[in-house]
Structure 1
C-alpha cells in the first residue's frame, strides 16, 4: 500500500460501476489515497450535508460511524456501561449526577468539560438550531442541568424518570461542540466527520487523539445503498468491503455453500405494521383483529428471511429480551377465526367477488413500506396475499419513509410496514412511549388509550424493576388487544464482508458499528 502523505486527505471514492446514484468525490478527496480506507454499504444515508447527530435520526448514522458519542453506552449484552461519563449516580428521584472522563477531547483538540455537555444538551430545545430534538427532549424530561465543577454535572428531571439514564444512551443524546467551517460537526468519537451527500454517502477520517486509542483505519466511507441486492452486487464487484444489511436469500446461499465472510446476530428490531386507528376502515376493532389473525407469521419469516433472518413476533419485544418480554402473549395465525370475527361484525362479501365490505363499501386498504431493508418488500407482498385469503383487499406500494408517515397521519393510507429497534436504549419505555403514547410525535395511528398512558407514566416513575415489569407486561397486552401496532417478526441482522474485515461485530441494538479496532487485513 502507498504511504499516506496527508492525514486530512480522504481516499478517492471508488466508482460503483453499474451502481447508480453514488456520491462523486471532490478533487481534494481524490488527490491522495489513505493507507486503509474501509467502504461500507448501509441501508440509509444522511438527511443533509451537515447532519447534526442530535436531530431527527441523524444520531444513529453518526453513532454507527464513530463520529459522535453519548455519555452512557450499551454493552453487547445490553447492559448499561460508562462511555463519556466514567460514573453516574441517582442522588434523588429527580436528580442524576454524572462524572465525566478527564481524557476526552473534541475533534478540534479541545478538552470536553461539563459546561460543554450542558451546552450541547441545551441545543435540543432551541428551535431552528440544527440539534433541535423535541422528541428526545420529551424522553429526557429535563428541568435543569447544573455544572458542579469541570467534570461533574447534575441533571434534574421535571418528574421521576427511571428511564433517564437509559435515554442518555440514545444516539441523539450525543455530546457535540458547535461546528466551524473547517469542522462542521465536532464530536468526540474515533472518527472525524469530513463530508456528507444527502441520502448518498458519509465520509470520515480517523481521530488520532481519541480517548479510546488511535483507530486502525485511516478513513471510512459509508455508502447508502437502499436496495440490498445492489449492495450485494457492489460487494461482489469490490466496490465496498462490507454490507451491513445483506439480502437474506443470498446470505442463506452463501451459508449453505460455506462461502463468504458471514456475520449474524439477533437484534431487538421488530418488523411491524403501524395502523391508522383514529379514523377510516381500521378504526374498526374487529377488522384490525382479523388482520392480525390472518397473518401467517411463520410463512412470512420462512419466505422473507430464508431461515436465517429472524423469529415470529408474539409481542413488541423478542423473547430474548428476557428482562422485559411478556412471554405469556401470542399472536396466532387463525384464518377461520378471523373469518368468523368479520362475519359477526357484519364485514361480509355480499356480492361474491371475494372482497368484504364495511358499511356498504368494499374494503381496499392502502398499505405502504419503504426500501432499505430487504425483508420489507416480500413481507408486504406476502401479507397482501394472506389478507386476500380472508377477503380483505389491499393496495400495496413502496415509498419514502417520512412520506409514508405523513400519509398515515393524514389517513391517506391505513397501514405502514416498518422496522424499528424496540429497545435501542436497553429500556422498555422507549418504543411504546415513542409510538403509542397519546399525542407523541411518532403516534401516526392517532391511537389513544388512557390505561396505557397511565402505565407508561408509572413505568417511568418507578425505580423498582419488578414493579416496572408488571407495568410493561400489561402495556404489551394492551398493544396486542388494541393493535395500533401489529407485530410480525423480530429480526436477526446478517452482514457480509470481503474476507478482510476485522473487528466488526453486530450489536443487538444496531446503534454501534465503527470502533477503533475495526480494520481491514493487509
Structure 2
C-alpha cells in the first residue's frame, strides 16, 4: 500500500514538473532572449531567411559583425574622412610602404592585447581560404606583416601600383584574434575555419563594444554592450545596451514592424516613406529625395548582341528614357537622375570631376544629364539608317522588385514610342541572375561598385574595364581596350590630382563617345530610423555621421550617438577630433617622395562598332551576393520568404516592452519524455493493482 501511494505521488510530481516547465519555458529555457525594449535597438533589413554567422571566413557573414569587430581605420563617405579606430596613426615609409600603429589601449574582450600579429595572421588565413578580411588584396599588396607588437607594415604591389586599393586594403582592414583562429585553422584547416560559427556568447572574443548575447539561425541575433570595453575612454560607450535583429517573412512585414514601433533602424526599401514622419520615422532628408544616393544604377544593354553594338542605338535609347517620370512615380522621388558620365554630383567633393564643356560637346545638358527627347532619339536612328522596329529590347528586372519593375515598364513604353519592339519581363531573381552569368539577357537595370574615396575611378573600372566580366563588373561586355591604360594610370596619380583629373576627363570622353551603359539614377542608400525609443540619429540636420544602413559594416559608430527618447542627444565629439581627411593622406603620400612617373600613351580612336566575345560564367547565387573588386564592394540582398512566429509581450511597467520568441523544442521534448515516464509508472501501478 505504501509503495502504491509513493508511486502515485511520483506520477503527480512528474506531471506537475512537466506542466511547470511548459508554462515557465519562455523564462527558463530561453531567458537569454529576454531584452527590455527600452534598452534595445531593433534593426531590420540585414538578415533574411536565415541569420548568418559572425565568421567572415564563410565569405558571407552577417554584417552585424561590424559592431563586434572594428577595423584599423573607419571610412566615412559623407565627409571623405578616415577615423583611426583600432589604429591611432599611420606613416608612409616611402611612396610604396605604409606603417600603421595600433593603439596601446586596444585589447580583445578577453583582455589580451590587439597586436600587429593579429592583423598579419588574419590576412594569412584569408589568403589560404580565399575569403575573409582583405580578400582580393593580394592583387594590390606585396604583404601585410607585423614589424613590432603594435606596428603593421603593408607594401604596395608594383605593378599595378593602385593607390586606391593599397590604402583601402591597408587602412580599412578588420583583424580577428590570432589566439582564437590559429588553433582552429591549424587543427581543422580550411574546412574548420569556414565552419566556425563564432556565435557562442561564452567563448566569443571581440574588439568592439558589442558581442553576441543570443544567436539562432532560424530566429534572431542579439548583441550586448560591453561596458568595460577597451575603447570607452576614447570613443565612449554606445547608448543601447542591446542590438537585436529579428527575422521577418518579407520586406513588408519588416516595414510593418518599423511603423508599429517594434523596430528602430531600417535598411529596407519603404514606399512613400514621407507618410511615416507623422509616426516619428525619418530618413536623412525630411523632403525629397529623402535618401542619400550612393552608387549609380545603369541600364546595361548586352553588347554581345549585334543590335546593340552600334553606339547610335544606345544613344537613341538614352534620349528616349523617361527619367523624371519614372523616378518620381516608380522610385517615389528617392533619387534625381544620374549624371550622364557616372559621377555622383550629390556629393560636393565629386563635382570637380564634371566638365560642362565636355558634356555639352556630346549633346548632354550643362549639368551633364541626358534629356528625354523622343524626337532626338528618332533623329539619331534615322541619320544612322537604323530601323528600330527590327530591334527587340527586353528590359528584365527581378520579380517582386516593384520599383525596378515599374521603371522597366515605363522605359519599354517610351522605347515603343520611338519604334523599338520593347518589353519589360519580370523573371524570378535566380532566372534573372542566371541570364546575366550566361550572357543571354537583352537588357537589365543593374548597379555599379558604389561610392568611396576612389570615386569616380571605381565607377569607370566597374563599368568599362574590359578585363572584368559579370558579376565583378563590365556587365554589358564592353571590349574597348583603349580605356585600360587610363583605368590603370588613374590610381597611380593619387598624389598628383591635376594629372589625375585630366585622365578622368579622358575616360569620360570615351564613355560619352561609346556610351556602353546608360546612367539612370543613384541607388538610394536605405536608411530610416524611428524616434519612438531612441534619438540622436544622424540626419541632414545632425550630420555627425553618414546615413549608413544597418547592413553596412561602417555603421558601427551610430549607436554611440543614440540616447533614450526624452534625453538630450550629443554627437560623439571623437569623430571630428580624430577624423583624417583623404586629402591629408594624399598630402602625406606626396611628402613621402615622388613615385616613378606614370607614362600614358594617349591614342585617338575613331568610334567603331563595339563587339564582345562570348563568355560563359558560372555563378552560384546565395541569398546575399557580395563581389569585391579592388576597393569597390557590391552587396545585393534578395528577399526570401520564411514563415516566422514572433510573440510580443507587453509588460505593465511604464516604458517597458519585452520582446521574446519562445523556443519550445527543448521544453516540449522534455515534457513528452516526462509524460511518457508518468504514463508508464501509472500503467505499472494499475498492473500491480490487478
Query: In the TM superposition, what is the alpha-carbon distance from 1:437 to its structure 2 partner?
Result: 1.9
Q: Please give the residue correspondences for 1:87-486 in structure 2 after superposition, counting only pairs within 5 Å.
A: 87-127=89-129, 131=132, 134-138=135-139, 141-159=140-158, 160-164=161-165, 166-168=167-169, 173-177=173-177, 178=181, 182=200, 187-193=206-212, 202-208=221-227, 209-211=229-231, 212-223=235-246, 228-249=251-272, 251-254=273-276, 259-265=279-285, 266-279=292-305, 281-307=307-333, 309-314=334-339, 315-325=341-351, 326-327=353-354, 328=356, 329=359, 330=368, 331-348=370-387, 356-358=389-391, 363-369=392-398, 375-392=403-420, 393-397=422-426, 399-400=428-429, 404-419=432-447, 422-425=450-453, 427-440=455-468, 441-462=472-493, 463-486=495-518
Relative to its length, the structure with more helix (as a share) is 2
Relative to its length, the structure with more strand (as a share) is 1
**3-state DSSP class of the match of 1:90?**
strand
Q: In the alignment, what sits opposite 1:17?
A: none
Query: In the TM superposition, what is the alpha-carbon distance from 1:293 to its structure 2 partner?
Result: 1.6
C-alpha distance in 1 between matches for 2:379 and 2:337: 24
Contact 2:311-2:516 within 8 A present in 1 as well: no
Gapped regions of structure 1 (runs ≥ 5): 1-23, 350-355
Query: In the TM superposition, what is the alpha-carbon distance from 1:420 to its structure 2 partner?
Result: 5.1
C-alpha distance in 1 between matches for 2:84 and 2:128: 28
Contact 2:68-2:210 within 8 A present in 1 as well: yes
Query: In the TM superposition, what is the alpha-carbon distance from 1:225 to its structure 2 partner?
Result: 5.9
Q: What is the TM-score of this pair, normalised by structure 1?
A: 0.79
Contact 2:145-2:153 within 8 A present in 1 as well: yes
Aligned residue pair count: 477
Q: CA RMSD in A?
A: 3.6
C-alpha distance in 2 between matches for 1:226 and 1:181: 23
C-alpha distance in 2 between matches for 1:123 and 1:485: 38
**3-state DSSP class of the match of 1:189?**
coil
Q: In the alignment, what sits opposite 1:15?
A: none
Distance change (3 Å), C-alpha of 1:520 and 1:83: same
Query: In the TM superposition, what is the alpha-carbon distance from 1:30 to its structure 2 partner?
Result: 5.5
**CA deviation string 1:214-244 (max 9, x = no partner):** 3322222235669654433222334323333
C-alpha distance in 2 between matches for 1:25 and 1:377: 46
Larger Rg: 2
Q: What is the TM-score of this pair, normalised by structure 2?
A: 0.61
Query: In the TM superposition, what is the alpha-carbon distance from 1:390 to its structure 2 partner?
Result: 2.1
Contact 2:486-2:507 within 8 A present in 1 as well: yes
Query: In the TM superposition, what is the alpha-carbon distance from 1:389 to its structure 2 partner?
Result: 2.3
C-alpha distance in 1 between matches for 2:523 and 2:29: 41
Distance change (3 Å), C-alpha of 1:367 and 1:188: same
Query: In the TM superposition, what is the alpha-carbon distance from 1:477 to its structure 2 partner?
Result: 3.7
C-alpha distance in 1 between matches for 2:215 and 2:508: 39
**3-state DSSP class of the match of 1:121?**
helix
